[in-house]
Amino acid sequence: MLPILDQPVAAYAVPDCLAAGADQIAIVTGAGETGRQVRRYFTEDISLKDTFTTRGWQEKYQPVAHLHEQAQFTFIEQPRDGRYGTALPVVLAADFIKGDAFILLAGDDLLLRSDGGHDLVDLTSARTMAGTPGAIAAATVPGGIAHRYGVITPKTNAGGHQVLDSLVERSASQFLRRRLRLSRMTLRQAASRSVKRADHWEQDGPVYASASMGPGRRVRR
């Protein structure tokens, strides 16, 4: 809920998802007050609406009047049990995902484009063009800070598309420039089962969604 300009970070993710064709959105929140704030932001507040209407402030209410109508929202609370990482929301949302392909977007991954476009639209289009079951967004950074992130190595397939050759989470190796993954992926439903089967899933600590990724997945530059 960190405010950026006139709305919280979470609000920027919704238009990206809608533009990519996702009209059912599950938001995995932390336990406690933070989760409550997110749920309240994307749920109609009848009491607040009545208060503004009674005082003749309908115009002031308009910026938040239709937030809950943007999509069908489902809220899932993440337990405080020592587990964390990009895979945890996928497993917690398994019942929501069911048999569908899905988009995984981290709430703190904010990308604003000056051309008004949407990275998720480009990502899903790239996956379709490459004919791969999944896609992952990536960016190039100086090698000196690459150890902070999951680092991917791409290769060009026969169709001329950049596909994933290898992925290492938080590598200690340093190179002049490395391509790192962003927490934006489009995955098939089987990915959630793959993540849940990870040997270290029952242990405390991080579990990454990259556990479901393998050679042949599309990489977006």
- pLDDT tens digits, one per residue of 17-50: 898 888 899 999 888 888 898 898 899 889 989 9
Out of 28-37, 55-64, 145-154, 187-196, which region has the weakest mean confidence (pLDDT)? 187-196
Q: Return the higher-pLDDT residue of 41 and 3.
A: 41
Entry pTM: 0.72
Counting the structural domains of the chain, the total is: 1
Expressed as residue numbers, the domain containing 13 is 3-220
Neighbours of 79 (CB within 10 A): 10
Could you tell me the CATH number of the domain that includes residue 180? 3.90.550.10
